[in-house]
Structure 1
Amino acid sequence: MSGGTENDVVIVGAGMGGLSAALVLASAGFKVVVIDGAAGPGGKLRQVTAGGHSFDAGPTVLTMKWVFDTLLSRCGTSLETEVALVRSDLLARHYWRGGDGLDLFADVDRNADAIGDFAGACEAAGFRRFANDSARIYRLLERSFIDAPRPNPLSLSARIGLHRPGSLLALKPYSTLWSALSGYFADPRLRQLFGRYATYCGSSPFLAPATLMLVAHVEQDGVWIVQGGMHLLARRLMAVAERLGVVFRFAENVVSIDKDRSGRAITGVTTDQQRQVRAASVIFNGDAAALAQLLDPGKVPRRRVGQRSLSALVACGPAIPSGVPLAHHTVFFSDDYKAEFDAILRQHRPPADPTIYVCAQDRTDAGALRGTAAGSGERLYSLMNMPADGDGHAYTESEIDRCLSSMERRLARNGLPLLLDRQVMSITAPDGFNRLFPGTGGALYGMASHGAMASFRRPSSQGPITGLYLAGGSVHPGPGVPMAALSGKIAAERLMADRALIGRSRPVAITGGMPMRSVTADTTP
């Protein structure tokens, strides 16, 4: 069976990139059908159930709000109209061995004062220089790189200004994040804290470029908690799309992206229900690592383990914490950060002493508990970084238990005695993430951002053959909720620009998501 009429758009994958592309295309007048293999929208903005409670089990913060303001303004609405937002005053709480703690705030002066109390006046002055430099890097890259088609080094230099060598050097392109941080902070705990920003794109601070300092400014510029959880954001974007006429379908796998006889142009997609969806263009919104097998289903894909970003072990469940007070976002640092990343990226094994991120989903940013049933425990999401080996290694129950035990030891050393109840928790290891996101090995951020050229190695929105476009967190501009949304916008705009160049409208399919699935443009039930 085939489907598709003039100007029909089929989007496979209701993750953030697919939702963004749907909104851009629908607001431009395209008839859009979105299809996904999951039970609902969101992709990595997934939701799980444990102990009778629902948990956000993916990204837990919203930053770069302007991305969604701009996206939704095209649709005649606003982010605040669609979801209730609370801007965080306290960005995150951090603990080290013995319970030494430091809070970071959405205010440079408050942070300088807190760092001064924690580590001394010299470190406070270093933070002020760091905050200024991170803001400068962000301003240089926001329009020239982040919200733009992927540049190469020369075109990026031209956008920033070849006559502004000082601006180009301010990006610190040849320094690692860790080495750059030593120029601001003598205290290793502060290098560890700000080095953690590399993990936001699944990378090691010892290998990632210093450009990632910009994350500090992104957080200072605003972190929001979505009331009802991050998964609700995906559902509300879906609701906006439905108001624009977008139709959503779920539960059908794409088994191939089809090409013409020459192999140089897209003709559509085929699904596991023997359904062919003919289309002149495809936007692939899955992980780029899965693309090769869809273009050539009979070929065994090459595993590029060394290039992969971090994976994770995520454990969600009710618990009753004691000891040091939690905030909504709390980080418990390991004793040896370098050993932790060496274990994951060089030895390809879980770290024996991991850094733990805990999202206390029933707490305000400052730590006040909201509406938790007495005695049942509060909803805690706990995460440790892991190697992306989920396509070559099936994690056994005993291996997962060892990881959970290492998490419990680190939490206790840093002042939080906590029992992670294996009987009620929802646990996802790298092999589970690989099943959710095929071809990745469980890597959650595409390729690791290691080396000065890492950002330029991510695929652009233009695919390898005519009519194929790419979106999602594994392509430019990179991983994260706002970045994925930008990738969908960039891919949709590239497609529309190519259509305008051709001068006529043709059927379109957009593929991707988790797992890669499709239906025809025939929207009848």
Structure 2
Amino acid sequence: MVRLEAGFSVAQERVVVIGAGIGGLAAALRLAHAGLDVTVVERAARPGGKMASVRVGDSRVETGPTVFTMRWVFEELFAESGAAFEEQATLAPAGLLARHAWTRDERLDLSADLDTSAAAIAAFAGPREAEGYRRFCARSAEVYRTLEGPFIREGRTSPTGLAQRVGISGLGDLWRIQPFATLWSALGTFFRDPRLLQLFGRYATYCGASPFTAPATLMLVAHVEQAGIWTVAGGMSALAKAVADLAAQRGATFRYGAHVDRIVTAGGRVSGVILADGETIPANCVVCNADASALGAGLFGQEAAPMGERLTPAERSLSALTLAAVAEPDGFPLAHHNVFFSGDYRAEFDTILRRRRLPDDPTVYICAQDRTESGAEPTGPERLLLLVNAPADGRDRPPTPSEIETCATNLSRRLEACGLTLAMASPPALTDPAGFESRFPGSAGALYGRAPQGWASTFKRAGARTALPGLYLAGGSIHPGPGVPMAAQSGRLAAVAILQDRDSTARSRRTATRGGTSMR
């Protein structure tokens, strides 16, 4: 068989994707549509990774991401694969972004409409804070516009590469987005009310960081949310299934309940994977859609380990303690997304990240999954996901049963302080940092890979390509970062890298000619 110089076969190239999280699914879909022979190997029984659900009583409760934004990532992914996103997933726009509470009497709703939110902030904290909110939203939009092209859409992972991409005319924009400031200090230029500092500082936790150390560029989350939040019919796990189904229609093969033991090489490049049962799956390329720490810890073999990373506890992102529940709420008008803030935000993060303990007074997020703006308010028990931030010590020092019980008690106290009580209809399903480490080995329970701390941390994330030919990376711990759309974008970038490298080698393939010489 005639072979390409870089090891690709003239016949159909084979790609193995490790992990059916949304990054791996996006890569598999794009590559299968391009005609490559794609096999997705997933140790779980279904696709989605963190986009999962669990049975509680007679219901299934979504246990992973609950906020869907940046719809354009999926619209482009599906369009690149010859499909219409709106025909594959059913979405409903959310006018109310989230309901926030500090006490029984202190509540604030944020809306997708800027004027509505500004009016609510004026009534809540005064006209000066409303004016600060308008300035904050303008800066958030500026940050997003500056970073979308060169950072989110492209594989630029170094400060030099980013500066080169924006050019001389764009350097002023980079400076104005305050890359060297922390999110908390930047928020102080817009708000004085400590409750609003808490509210918008919470955006750091979307990437698993503390607002006191995360870069100010994370204020772009405000613009992302204003650009649109949607609820997905069937939950986020249904979105993952839609991507997997389309990839299968395009020719990808899915093997569930299959565990990759190691990535193997031959001749200085990837040659395939070996499963735990000893089976070898040959491949020209491997997309590793696992936490970069799992790769760095050698969980996929020592040949690929140098392509990963090894994080100290201080470098890891936040983990979480979650309760998937079916319960009847009382005393508080839940929206789809709800946040109940602690009394002292700085003390909360000091406890989690410095003392490495579950917080004594946690901020609690609740997704009321049966509540939508277009539907009737549920009666009786409903599906709820409750979440508090936790240190990512699921491997080194997981919380004890006593500590978990204390945290659950403190969680209930925080809700009661805001007027909410929950009557459980079934025992809730609890997941702690050790549970997340068990589901995603090598992560120590960190949900977002490396925590963004300081201006340079964002650029420390690995990109799609690695120094090992044939090995590509995707997932929330890879550039451009965590969250469903960003992880999906990482899969798109991995697929683009493979196709570009394939085209590059194809232009240099050896051709048999009379006389035995080799020509381009």
TM-score (norm 2): 0.92
* Residues 1:462 and 2:465 aligned together: yes
Q: Distance in 2 between matches of 1:303 and 1:479?
A: 16
Deviation at 1:416, TM superposition (A): 1.0
Measured against aligned partners, the alpha-carbon deviations of 1:93-120 in whole angstroms (never above 9, x if no partner) come to 0000233100000011111111001000
User: Could you give the per-residue CA deviations for residues 34-73 of structure 1, whole angstroms, max 9, x where no partner exists?
Assistant: 2211111100101111122101100002100000000001
Partner SS state of residue 23, structure 2: helix
1:87 partner letter: P
Q: CA deviation at 1:80?
A: 1.2
The 1:165/1:13 distance shift into structure 2, 3 A limit, reads: closer
Q: Give the aligned partner of residue 447 of structure 1.
A: 450
> Do structure 1's residue 87 and structure 2's residue 93 form an aligned pair?
yes
In terms of mean alpha carbon deviation, does 250-259 or 323-332 score higher? 250-259
**C-alpha deviation, 1:305, in angstroms:** 1.1
- Local SS of the residue matching 2:169: coil
Report the counterpart of residue 312 of structure 2 in structure 1. Answer: 304
Q: 1:361 and 1:96 mapped to 2: Cα distance?
A: 22
Q: 1:272 aligns with which of 269, 276, 279?
A: 276
Compared with structure 1, are the counterparts of its residues 164 and 9 closer, same or farther at alpha carbon in structure 2 (3 Å cutoff)? closer
Which residue does 1:313 correspond to in 2?
321
- Hey, what's the Cα distance between the residues in 2 that align with 1:297 and 1:251? 24
Q: Deviations over 1:191-239 (max 9, x none)?
A: 1000000000000000000000000000000000001111100111111
Q: Is the 8 A contact 1:412 1:418 kept in 2?
A: no
Structure 1 residues 71 and 29: CA distance shift in structure 2, 3 A: same
Partner of 1:18: 24
Return the structure number with greater relative CO, CA threshold 8 A, min gap 6.
1
Relative distance call for 1:165 and 1:279 in structure 2 (3 A) is closer
Q: Give the whole-Å Cα distance in 2 for the aligned partners of 1:359 and 1:64.
A: 19
In the alignment, structure 2 segments of 5+ residues that lack a partner are 1-8, 510-520
Q: Is the 8 A contact 2:157 2:461 kept in 1?
A: no
Please, which of 430, 437, 441 is the counterpart of residue 438 of structure 1? 441
Q: Give the letter for the 2:505 counterpart.
A: I
Who is 1:36 aligned against? 42
SS at the partner of 2:330? coil
Residue in 2 that maps onto 1:381: 385
User: Secondary structure of 2:329's partner?
Assistant: coil
Shift of 1:360: 0.4
Q: What is the CA-CA distance between 1:280 and the residue it aligns to?
A: 2.6
For residue 226 of structure 1, what is the aligned residue in structure 2? 232
8 Å contact kept, 2:293–2:310: no
Residue 144 of structure 1 aligns with which residue?
150
Alignment partner of 1:9 is 2:15: yes
The 1-side partners of 2:437 and 2:508 are apart by: 37
Identity %: 49
Partners of 1:197 and 1:354 in 2: how far apart?
16
Q: Give the equivalent residue in structure 1 for 2:365.
A: 357
Match of 2:490 in 1: 487
RMSD: 2.0
Residue equivalent to 1:327: 335
Runs of 5+ consecutive residues of structure 1 not aligned to the other structure: 507-525
Cα offset, 1:394, TM superposition: 3.8
Task: Indicate the SS of the match to 1:9.
Answer: strand
Higher mean alpha-carbon deviation, 41-50 vs 276-285, is at: 276-285
CA shift digits 1:122-156 (9 cap, x unpaired): 00000000000000110111111011013311221
Task: Provide the residue aligned with 2:3 in structure 1.
Answer: none
Q: Label 1:165 to 1:494 Cα distance change in 2 as closer, same or farther (>3 A).
A: closer
Moved more, 162-171 or 238-247: 162-171
C-alpha displacement at 1:259, in angstroms?
Answer: 2.3
- Residue type at the aligned position of 1:362: D
Deviation of the 1:395 alpha carbon: 3.5
User: Number of residue pairs matched?
Assistant: 496
One-letter amino acid of the counterpart of residue 460, structure 2? R
Q: Which position in structure 2 is the counterpart of 1:199?
A: 205
Q: Tell me the TM-score normalized by structure 1.
A: 0.91
Q: Is the 8 A contact 1:173 1:211 kept in 2?
A: yes
1:461: how far off?
A: 0.8
